[in-house]
Structure 1
Amino acid sequence: MKTIVLSIIALLSAATSPAQTPVASPDPYRPVYHFTAPKNWINDANGLVYSNGQYHLFYQYNPQSAQPGHLSWGHATSPDLLRWTHLPVALTEYPGPEGSNIMIFSGSAVVDKDNTSGLFPAGKTDGLVAFYTGHQEKPGLVMAQHQNLASSQDGGRTWQRYAGNPVLDIGSKEFRDPKVFWYAPQQKWVMATVKADRQQVYFYESKDLKKWDFMSRWGRAGNTVREWECPDLFELPVPGGGTRWVLLISAGNPTEQFRGQQYFLGRFDGKAFTPDQPYEEPAYLDFGKDYFAAVTFNNAPDNRRLLVGWTNDWAYARDVPTGDEWRGNFAVPRELSLRQTSAGLALVQQPLAELRTLGKEALSLKNQTIKPGAAGLPVAFRGESYDLELIVKPGTATAFSLNVLESEAERTTLRYNVARQELTLDRTQSGNVSFHPMFASSLETARVPLQNGQLKLRVLVDKSVVEVFAQDGETTLTDLVFPRQHAGRISLRAEGSPVQLTQLRLTNLSQPAP
């Protein structure tokens, strides 16, 4: 089979500037434009809320080490989801009854602008109320999981746990992850939680954020291989008119051994969720191995629905080779919308629009034909943090592939099979893959039909994170990778017949946001 290689190896000397030159880092795997904590362990994003011009990102955090344990809520704020100010730990574990400890598991936060809770002084319109699962355990013994609240009058810097906690306790060890939001048509608060072991979502209502009444339950659809976690429920407009409610659930993965996330479209009447279809087969949010526990911001301006997910998998999360300083990061925030596709109404994810304000264009090509036997195109780039966009017309080619983070013996490969219309992400030769037997155990594959004979890809690469958005976000794949050689080359290979490279644009993001 004939192949042609488009090698993108080093910056064009005419285009090089200080802002475009990759910066040597003492930590080869800490991302530049993906969120990481200054140190220690992080997992799920929590309490995502916008207030007083700031996005608040709380997250599962171990203040003591880069391994899971002693879970608390870390805290950072940003005006644009790009530049972050790290703040002291917001909520920490505390002693419970009978010699137990209560860890601060996942949850959400709201702005109680009308002081429905009565927890704030008169006239206070920006008070924050956080809801978290109190995970009660003794060493080696889980005793209970229940829902609790805390309030803050100073923008989340300090918190007071409610004296009447827990506000919701059903006597279960598998009852967690409260997502609370305001339901305007009935002037009330709604809480979505999961009975994880039953793969069901439980819905509750409240007028004051403190007393919660059961409304309904729904579940056991789509992927039920693993327990359900981290529910989120929100409304999005449908193109052409009307709306649909979207229910997110963290559960199983298209590759069965891993965890992932699914979504359901339907209707919510303030009491119960009714899906549009039986969902006997899952609708997956992401087809990679490393996108989990994603939830959206409450109160985001302009009614934007912005999603933040953890880029890791519990199969090997404790073992990823980032060292003893830090472990864990988040994907670039994604803006959600609905779109009519060839398969019907679907949830679409696009990278945060503000990302385009970072970096400088390092490479731009149009209308290049890659012919069998040709020597390749005379352009070059080398780096490990960038935003790459390309449009390809495969024509009669059998397949083509894009290699990123490529060195002499290493590469992360995106390969498109034209006949099957399948996109595969392969990290089996990406570098350090031996730290856990499951890390490179299989490939990730998603069906991605051509549109007008074209495949459009946007690939966010950031040292140890690769996020792929195909066909303007109709399909996404997210994986961690750990290259050892760090040559940072890119190549495009066509198989069988010529491939038309309609457009290629690369933005160098090797400098952190100013």
Structure 2
Amino acid sequence: MTDLALSSSLAMAATHPDPAFPRFHPRPAQGWINDPNGISYINGRYHVFFQYNPDSARHSQIQWGHLSSADLVRWEEHPVALSPQAGGPDSAGCWTGVVTSDDGVPTAAYSGIKDHGGHSQVVIARGSADLVTWEQDGHVAASMPEDPLVTAVRDPFIFRFNGARYAMQGAGLSDGRAALLLYTVDSLDDWKYQGIWLTTADPVAAVHTPAEIWECPQLVEVPLSSGGSTWVMMFSLWLSGDDHEHANGVGYLTGSLSADPVTGLPVFAPVSGGKADLGRDFYAPQIVQLAYSDGSAPAAALLWGWANEGPGRDGRRGRTQEEIDDAGWSGVLTHPRVLSVIDGALVVAPAPGIEAYRGAAVASGAAGSVAVSAFAEVLVRGGSSGSGSGSGSVELVLGSGADAQVVYSASLAAGEELRIFVDASLVEAYRSGSVATTLRAYPAPGEDWQLTLPDGATADVWKLSLPA
């Protein structure tokens, strides 16, 4: 396989032969990708690993791809970080996991599967200081718990609380509940199972995060708009028969973390929740907790998610598996997103650095119907109550006439803002004070994008371009 180390992923995308290939969401030019993994910020660089099959556009023989950036805008692609080891605990795939520092040594903890259809184990690998070179010796830190209730387990996540290191994994139980399993991690080489930590039997979780397995569990401290912080859990909501459709999407819970008075173990008490994204094409996000700014409150939490290819959802035209195979690629990661909590609800915004992709202005204060290019950013503003309400529905439409498809439609109240990014076949829409909506749509030859605004609303439009 060609060594792509230190090549510019975005520069390659600009010349990709497939017009549906996103140019401003870095990924390898070919192959399958899914879950973002091992997201970390070390020595001034962001590192994003991801599930990767470089040999085809299908979900098989999964490895870890690797991108890095100093500014979240200019990305470099590195060689494959982790790959299945013949005869090892990951011989059938190196699946979802995290990267952490173990006494200064970058360390990956991921789900390894030895046999297709078998149970996963937590496998450990050690990395070089720049995270480019990895040593895999097949060390298993945690195996399937000897608990008759636990029928499936996957996707380790590591967190700290009260000075101690813990881990959790998503799970499914024999009675149909989704669950979290808790581990103490005094040594990254040997995790101690502490039992079932939380399940969908919790009344708050039952409402906001229904699933048969909680996949890709996350637990981070997120800033509150009023000051301080709160704990946010996030789960990808797996149902049997999903086959990458993921009808339940991704849910989150907000709540408190306290120490059990007897055991000292952390106890999470959910108080509210909701959807982490309102689109049908968003799954398996991972969050990185950035360094604490003053020792008392987190500086930021950044999230990346996975948007897959698919047969079309909610009236949108999709791609068949044959078309995906012919294109030779599948899957894209979202823009990095900043998390906060306002009035108990999760708020998601694009990372500030993304504005560096703004190129030439196409329209300013436009109204009515606005043409949008295949690579564009749009800022929509609802009118003020004193100048026409500007309330109504915003629609992003692909094509015209009988073949037109409404890709995105949303209400807009006076004073609200929407930021919409169109990157070939990927649409991300961010509403002020709310979560994002992630969607896929594939332009046919000659089709154009059109934005329709309600009375009183205006839009600024920029073409996207690569920064110098």
Common fold by TM > 0.5? yes
How does 1:113-512 map onto structure 2 within 5 Å?
Answer: 115=103, 125=104, 127-138=105-116, 142-162=117-137, 164-170=139-145, 174-183=152-161, 185-186=162-163, 188-197=164-173, 198-215=177-194, 217-220=197-200, 221=205, 222-251=208-237, 258-269=247-258, 271-277=265-271, 283-299=274-290, 303-312=299-308, 319=321, 321-322=323-324, 323-340=326-343, 345-366=344-365, 381-393=371-383, 399-407=392-400, 409-416=403-410, 423=411, 450=413, 453-470=414-431, 472-494=432-454, 499-501=455-457, 503-509=458-464, 511-512=465-466
Contact map agreement 1:41 1:66 (CA 8 A) in 2:
yes
- Secondary structure class of the residue paired with 2:354: helix
Contact map agreement 1:30 1:36 (CA 8 A) in 2:
no
* Separation of aligned partners in 2, 1:273 and 1:315: 41
Residue 26 (structure 1) aligned to one of 17, 21, 26: 17
- More off after superposition, 169-178 vs 197-206: 169-178
* Separation of aligned partners in 2, 1:251 and 1:89: 28
Partner of 2:296: none
Distance 1:25 1:71, change over 3 A: closer
What is the CA deviation profile of residues 303-351 of structure 1, one whole-angstrom value per residue up to 9, with x for unaligned ones?
A: 32110000127787983844342111011110111112xxxx1111001
State the 1:490 CA deviation: 2.1
Contact map agreement 2:342 2:433 (CA 8 A) in 1:
no
* Separation of aligned partners in 1, 2:357 and 2:92: 41
State the 1:206 CA deviation: 1.6
- Secondary structure class of the residue paired with 1:137: coil
Distance 1:309 1:325, change over 3 A: same
Contact map agreement 1:105 1:177 (CA 8 A) in 2:
yes
Distance 1:84 1:223, change over 3 A: same
What is the CA deviation profile of residues 159-180 of structure 1, one whole-angstrom value per residue up to 9, with x for unaligned ones?
A: 2235642434325662110011
- Secondary structure class of the residue paired with 1:165: strand
Q: Give the % identical residues.
A: 25
Distance 1:234 1:160, change over 3 A: same
What is the CA deviation profile of residues 43-72 of structure 1, one whole-angstrom value per residue up to 9, with x for unaligned ones?
A: 100110111121111111113211111011
RMSD of aligned Cα (Å): 3.0
- Secondary structure class of the residue paired with 1:50: strand
Distance 1:414 1:513, change over 3 A: same
State the 1:27 CA deviation: 1.2
* Separation of aligned partners in 2, 1:407 and 1:315: 21
Unaligned runs of 5+ in 2: 1-13, 240-244, 260-264, 294-298, 313-318
The answer to whether the aligner puts 1:70 opposite 2:45 as a matched pair is no
Contact map agreement 1:259 1:313 (CA 8 A) in 2:
no
What is the CA deviation profile of residues 14-66 of structure 1, one whole-angstrom value per residue up to 9, with x for unaligned ones?
A: xxxxxxxxx78621111011122221111100110111121111111113211
* Separation of aligned partners in 2, 1:301 and 1:111: 15
Counterpart of 1:264, as a letter, is L
- Secondary structure class of the residue paired with 1:354: helix
- Secondary structure class of the residue paired with 1:357: helix
- Secondary structure class of the residue paired with 1:143: coil
Partner of 2:316: none
Contact map agreement 1:335 1:350 (CA 8 A) in 2:
yes
State the 1:403 CA deviation: 2.7
Counterpart of 1:145, as a letter, is S
Could you state the TM-score of these two structures normalised by the residue count of structure 1?
A: 0.73
Could you state the TM-score of these two structures normalised by the residue count of structure 2?
A: 0.80
State the 1:288 CA deviation: 0.7
Distance 1:205 1:241, change over 3 A: same
- More relative contact order, 1 or 2 (CA 8 Å, 6+ apart): 1
Partner of 1:89: 80
* Separation of aligned partners in 1, 2:132 and 2:451: 47
State the 1:190 CA deviation: 1.5
Rg (Cα) greater in structure: 1
Contact map agreement 2:281 2:307 (CA 8 A) in 1:
yes
Contact map agreement 1:74 1:91 (CA 8 A) in 2:
yes
Distance 1:168 1:402, change over 3 A: same
Counterpart of 1:386, as a letter, is A
What is the CA deviation profile of residues 259-280 of structure 1, one whole-angstrom value per residue up to 9, with x for unaligned ones?
A: 4100000112263343343x6x
Contact map agreement 2:380 2:419 (CA 8 A) in 1:
yes
Contact map agreement 1:336 1:350 (CA 8 A) in 2:
yes
Contact map agreement 1:64 1:70 (CA 8 A) in 2:
no
Contact map agreement 1:145 1:173 (CA 8 A) in 2:
no
Partner of 1:427: none
- Secondary structure class of the residue paired with 1:454: coil
Partner of 1:16: none
Distance 1:148 1:489, change over 3 A: closer
State the 1:194 CA deviation: 0.9
- Secondary structure class of the residue paired with 1:160: strand
State the 1:485 CA deviation: 3.0
* Separation of aligned partners in 2, 1:231 and 1:251: 10
- Secondary structure class of the residue paired with 2:58: coil
Distance 1:97 1:37, change over 3 A: closer
State the 1:396 CA deviation: 7.1
What is the CA deviation profile of residues 53-106 of structure 1, one whole-angstrom value per residue up to 9, with x for unaligned ones?
A: 2111111111321111101111111112222111111111123379x9341110
What is the CA deviation profile of residues 138-188 of structure 1, one whole-angstrom value per residue up to 9, with x for unaligned ones?
A: 5xxx222111111112422222235642434325662110011333x22x2
- Secondary structure class of the residue paired with 2:274: coil
Distance 1:492 1:103, change over 3 A: same
Contact map agreement 1:296 1:307 (CA 8 A) in 2:
yes
State the 1:492 CA deviation: 1.6
Counterpart of 1:71, as a letter, is I
